[in-house]
Amino acid sequence: MSLKAPRQAKFKAINKMPLIIDCDPGQDDALMLFMALNAPEFDLRGIVAVAGNVPLAATELNIRILADICNRTDVPLYSGCEKPLQRSLITAEYVHGKTGIDPLEIYQPQVQLQAQHGVDFIIDTLTNAADNEITIVATGPMTNIATVLSRAPQLSVRIKQIVMMGGAMFEGGNVTPSAEFNVYLDPEALDIVLKAGRPIYAFGLDVTHKVMSSPKRVAAIRALDNPVAQAAADMLEFFDRYDSQKYASEGAPLHDPCTVAFLLQPEMFKMKACACQVELNSELTRGHTAVDFWQVTDQPHNIHWAHDVNAEEFFTLLTDRLSDY
Ligand code: BDR
Ligand code: CA
């Protein structure tokens, strides 16, 4: 696939947002990547895979396939951590299928992973950056980011913001009654990130469950005449099958693309500065994000919590960006 030259010209860096993406594709991670890989607003320094929805061997192959489908083989790709900091890996093939990006064809694209470990890549990028320069989008467990912050805490000031998918407050959990999947997998990693003192914009289930696909929304993507949009429609149809039963809905929540949509069009989301702590000790509520939404404590604010979204604007943006491939 992709014998064409990479689509680089549009993406040359002039006043663009320097960005690192850390993800565990996952169909919804894939849609997030499709938006980011076609966004001239970003200076995308690299994509790092982490173990999560499926094991690392699959997520690292998936980022290669997804970059190849988008003909963005110019973006460096890295493999990261293969298990959570302190816990065994739990995967979610029951949601995402065996490969994570079902029903796409799995193949070995020409584009390879960089030899450097993803954590070392992030550390090097921060080392060479100015203070407040680098935006990190994280749509899987926080393992890689927490490892960076533990190994090089002095570099945290180079991070402008962390835009993450994870957590749940009003909505309750999707993997236990209390916890959202990404946080449940590696709560100790999120704890490190929450304590790092950098601006965090969090898109948890409270908002992602308002961004639901539907047959009409998928049909609008299916109608676009390009292979990336067709791959997106294929994955959405697959992804919908599990969540539409679970939530008795017409489709599935598009969790991870909320992060990139926020960077492109922040005004479509409602955010509130809150204090947030993550439960580490209880077996019952492991990974619960205790967000002090009503300010009932005097804990300092450490997170901007997304609580509402204009879903029509979201799907217009998604469809528009997919149409531009
Ligand atoms: C999150 O978990 C994964 O299943 C999705 O990719 C998303 O990042 C939703 O809970
Ligand atoms: Ca994900």
CATH of the domain at 248: 3.90.245.10
* Residue 11: inside a domain: no
12 assigned to some structural domain? no
User: What residues line ligand 1, using a CB cutoff of 6 Å?
Assistant: 26, 28-29, 53, 92, 95, 139, 165, 174, 180-182, 255-256
Say what the pTM is: 0.96
The pLDDT value recorded for residue 174 is 96
Q: List the Cα angle 109/92/320 in 5-degree steps.
A: 60
Whether residue 314 lies inside any domain: the answer is yes
Q: Is 172 inside a domain boundary?
A: yes
The domain total for the chain is 1
- The H or E element that residue 309 is part of is strand 303-309
Q: What is the pLDDT along the chain (325 residues), one digit of tens a residue?
A: 445 667 766 777 778 999 999 999 999 999 999 999 999 999 999 999 999 999 999 999 999 999 999 999 999 999 999 999 999 999 999 888 899 999 999 999 999 999 999 999 999 999 999 999 999 999 999 999 999 999 999 999 999 999 999 999 999 999 999 999 999 999 999 999 999 999 999 999 999 999 999 999 999 999 999 999 999 999 999 987 777 777 877 889 999 999 999 999 999 999 999 999 999 999 999 999 999 999 999 999 999 999 999 999 999 999 999 999 9
Radius of gyration of the chain (CA): 18
206 CA distance to ligand 1 middle (Å):
13
Range of the domain at 113: 17-323
Q: Which of 96, 117, 209, 255 is catalytic?
A: 255
- In which order are the strands placed within the sheet that holds 303-309? 77-79, 42-49, 17-23, 134-138, 159-165, 200-203, 303-309, 269-274
Torsions phi, psi of 142, nearest 5?
A: -85, 15
- In this structure, is residue 5 part of a structural domain? no
**Residue 44 lies inside a defined structural domain of this protein:** yes
Joined together, the tokens standing for residue 246 give: 């679970």
Ligand 2 centroid distance, CA of 155 (Å): 25
Q: Which residues contact 47 (CB under 8 A, 6 or more apart)?
A: 20, 21, 22, 23, 33, 63, 67, 75, 76, 77, 78
Q: 220 — phi, psi (to 5°)?
A: -65, -35
Predicted local distance difference test score (pLDDT) of residue 1: 47
Would you say residue 7 lies in a domain?
A: no
The residue to mutate among 89, 96, 139, 254, having the most atoms of ligand 1 within 8 angstroms of its beta carbon, is: 139
Residue whose C-alpha is closest to residue 149's, from 195, 87, 203, 83: 195
301 in catalytic set: no
Q: Whose CA is nearest to atom 4 of ligand 1?
A: 53
Q: Looking at residue 4, what is its pLDDT?
A: 61
Distance 123 CA to ligand 1 centre (A): 25
Continuous H helices in 78-203: 93-96, 118-127, 143-151, 181-185, 187-194
In a domain, 213, yes or no: yes
Residue 28: nearest ligand to its CA? 1
Atom of ligand 1 nearest to the CA of 175: 10
- 3-state DSSP helix/strand/coil percent for the chain, to nearest 5? 40, 15, 45
